[in-house]
């Protein structure tokens, strides 16, 4: 029986490799077709095994207007695929007995205090690594407020959990920022210096940098883009140039990311046989740590039809055609990345691009991972485009229902000037409602959005260049004055007003 199982496994792997080998030669055309469909100015793609580079190629340009031709050394933001590198750094410190995965987070960050004091004695480093602390996203701090990590730690005391500990997967970038700080506390070096010395340099990744501002003069890097109203436009930068954010600030080339992928396929060894991570540590990285519901996973499950979904240490995981696939995306405003590993057949794919949420990255991933014969394969480009197009149409239909519910000919309760001022949330900081050149705006440290009256005491906040809009309801207190507004699901109270 064992021999039959081994033979069956061998035949499956052999057939899978043969089918995918036939795809490699066609992949450049597949990528270029997807770029046209998703309006992507530039990409870089690699397919590697543990021993060789099967494909490594740049496509398009660093910018839609006036850019340079992309090659294998052009730098891209790898965004949240950074997380796997941070997880590897944590595991190295575990092997050195500097910490343990099940240490309490506050053991290494004593200033860290959660809103529910019970969590202080429960949340571990493993919990930070696996997005299961019970806290929902606090990205507003980084991307809207530009809040320093020390201030985020202070504000964590005011954040209410939205799930019980370890009961639900909720993607949480702030927790990875904390992991970067833990690396610094235990190693005595900033996380980026530790990762550079312990991972990038031994692997030979000389074109990888902790942030955009650390890229040396003369090295080419892509600019971020969005596709808005049938036009490709340059997007604003999400992160400050020098921000070294352990949740996703790293920039790298496809040449370097190929080396990183090969290191992972070799189980933690460099090309010259140097082991950077023990076999036990490497196995821990890819051990499923947290089950994920389909609703919290990528929409592509509708096409890949997995039987299970999980998260390791910095990796999403699922089964696909009888094999375990480990992968992760990365997204910043106008920039995308994806890395996928099939450790069973020792093959990996990396795709980097400069168009906001160009989900053709998933098409590239599954095109490479698909082991079906040519005549039985999905058209991954077409199916991914159709899937995400359908989701967009669902969002538009939902918004149309909101529009239908809008009350006609309703008026504000108070003069418009009464709504201006500073509003504060204990957890999320301050925002301002201001009037500039006869226009109302909501403004934070790193954002501003025009406001228009919707109905009653509700305004519409809209950024057409981000294809973003949301309603801001204001609350009037018993004293007849504006008391608060609701924004991103949080209540911000007006400052310098008489309290009820």
Token output for 129:
């690594």
Query: Given strand 316-320, what is the order of strands in its sheet?
Result: 53-60, 42-49, 347-353, 335-342, 323-332, 316-320, 309-311, 290-291
pLDDT computed for residue 500 by the predictor:
43
The pLDDT profile of the chain, 500 residues, written as one tens digit per residue, is 555 555 555 555 555 555 557 789 999 999 999 999 999 999 999 999 999 999 999 999 999 999 999 999 999 999 999 999 999 999 999 999 999 999 999 999 999 999 999 999 999 999 999 999 999 999 999 999 999 999 999 999 999 999 999 999 999 999 999 999 999 999 999 999 999 999 999 999 999 999 999 999 999 999 999 999 889 999 999 999 999 999 999 999 999 999 999 999 999 999 999 999 999 999 999 999 999 999 999 999 999 999 999 999 999 999 999 999 999 999 999 999 999 999 999 999 999 999 999 999 999 999 999 999 988 999 999 999 999 999 999 999 999 999 999 999 999 999 999 999 999 999 999 999 999 888 899 999 999 999 999 999 999 999 988 889 999 999 999 999 999 999 998 999 999 755 44
d(CA 52, CA 37): 30
Single out the residue of 124, 121, 106, 157 nearest to residue 290, CA to CA. 124
Q: Are 191 and 56 spatial neighbours (Cβ–Cβ below 8 Å)?
A: no
pLDDT one-digit tens code per residue, 438-472? 889 999 999 999 999 999 999 999 998 888 999 99
Q: Can you tell me whether residue 390 is helix, strand or coil? A: helix
Pairing outcome for strands 309-311 and 316-320: antiparallel
Spelled out in words, what is the top-level CATH class assigned to the domain 416-494? mainly beta
d(CA 106, CA 92): 20
d(CA 226, CA 231): 8
Calculate the alpha carbon distances from 447 to 236, 432, 433, 462 in Å.
11, 11, 12, 11
Q: Can you tell me whether residue 280 is helix, strand or coil? A: helix
Torsion over CA: 433, 436, 441, 445 (sign): negative
pLDDT computed for residue 20 by the predictor:
58
Strand partners, 227: 232
Single out the residue of 131, 129, 125 nearest to residue 112, CA to CA. 125
pLDDT computed for residue 21 by the predictor:
72
Torsion over CA: 262, 304, 309, 132 (sign): positive
Q: What are phi and psi of 491, to 5 degrees?
A: -95, 125
Residue 461 Ramachandran class (φ > 0 left, ψ -120 to 50 alpha, else beta): beta
Residue 229 Ramachandran class (φ > 0 left, ψ -120 to 50 alpha, else beta): left
Token output for 456:
């009653």
Query: Is-same-fold flag (2-393; 416-494)?
Result: no
Quote the DSSP letter at residue 51. S
pLDDT one-digit tens code per residue, 150-165? 999 999 999 999 999 9
Q: How many other C-beta atoms lie within 10 A of the C-beta of residue 186?
A: 18
pLDDT one-digit tens code per residue, 165-202? 999 999 999 999 999 999 999 999 999 999 999 999 99
Q: Are 451 and 471 spatial neighbours (Cβ–Cβ below 8 Å)?
A: no
Token output for 486:
């609701």
Give the residue extent of every domain in the chain.
2-393, 416-494
Was domain 2-393 assigned CATH 3.40.710.10? yes
d(CA 338, CA 66): 26
pTM score, whole prediction: 0.94
Pairing outcome for strands 309-311 and 335-342: unpaired
Q: Are 444 and 485 spatial neighbours (Cβ–Cβ below 8 Å)?
A: no
């Amino acid at each position: 029986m064992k021999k039959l199982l081994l033979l069956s496994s061998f035949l499956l792997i052999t057939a899978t490799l043969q089918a995918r080998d036939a795809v490699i030669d066609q992949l450049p055309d597949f990528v270029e077709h997807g770029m046209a469909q998703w309006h992507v100015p530039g990409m870089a793609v690699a397919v590697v095994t543990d021993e060789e580079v099967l494909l490594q190629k740049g496509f398009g340009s660093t910018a839609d207007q006036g850019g340079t031709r992309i090659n294998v050394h052009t730098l891209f933001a790898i965004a949240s695929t950074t997380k796997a590198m941070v997880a590897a750094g944590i595991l190295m410190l575990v092997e050195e007995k500097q910490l343990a995965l099940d240490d309490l987070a506050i053991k290494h960050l004593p200033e860290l205090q959660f809103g529910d004091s019970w969590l202080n004695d429960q949340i571990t480093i493993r919990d930070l690594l696996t997005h299961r602390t019970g806290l929902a996203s606090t990205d507003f701090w980084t991307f809207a407020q530009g809040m320093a990590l020390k201030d985020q730690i202070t504000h964590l005391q005011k954040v209410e959990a939205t799930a019980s500990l370890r009961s639900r997967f909720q993607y949480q970038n702030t927790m990875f920022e904390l992991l970067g700080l833990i690396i610094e506390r235990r190693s005595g070096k900033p996380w980026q210096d530790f990762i550079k010395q312990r991972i990038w340099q031994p692997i030979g990744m000389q074109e990888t940098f902790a942030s955009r501002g650390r890229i040396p003069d003369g090295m080419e890097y892509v600019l971020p883009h969005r596709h808005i109203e049938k036009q490709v436009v340059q997007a604003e930068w999400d992160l400050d140039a020098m921000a070294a954010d352990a949740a996703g600030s790293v920039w790298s080339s496809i040449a370097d990311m190929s080396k990183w992928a090969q290191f992972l396929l070799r189980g933690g060894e460099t090309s010259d046989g140097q082991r950077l991570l023990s076999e036990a540590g490497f196995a821990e990285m890819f051990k499923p740590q947290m089950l994920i519901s389909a609703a919290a996973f990528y929409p592509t499950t509708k096409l890949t039809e997995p039987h299970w979904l999980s998260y390791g240490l910095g990796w999403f995981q699922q089964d696909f055609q009888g094999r375990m696939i480990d992968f992760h995306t990365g997204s910043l405003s106008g920039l995308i990345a994806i890395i996928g590993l099939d450790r069973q057949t020792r093959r990996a794919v990396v795709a980097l691009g400069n168009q906001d949420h160009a989900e053709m990255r998933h098409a590239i991933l599954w095109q490479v991972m698909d082991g079906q014969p040519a005549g039985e394969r999905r058209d991954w480009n077409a199916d991914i485009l159709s899937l995400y197009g359908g989701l967009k149409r669902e969002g538009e239909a939902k918004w149309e229902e909101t529009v239908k519910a809008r009350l006609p000919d309703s008026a504000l309760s108070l003069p418009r000037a009464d709504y201006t001022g500073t509003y504060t949330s204990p957890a999320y900081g301050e925002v301002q409602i201001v009037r500039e050149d006869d226009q109302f705006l909501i403004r934070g440290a790193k954002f501003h959005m025009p406001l228009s009256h919707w109905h009653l005491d509700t305004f519409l906040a809209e950024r057409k260049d981000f294809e973003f809009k949301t309603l801001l309801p204001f609350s009037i207190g018993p004293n007849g004055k504006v008391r608060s507004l609701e924004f991103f699901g949080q209540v911000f109270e007006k400052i310098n007003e008489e309290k009820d």
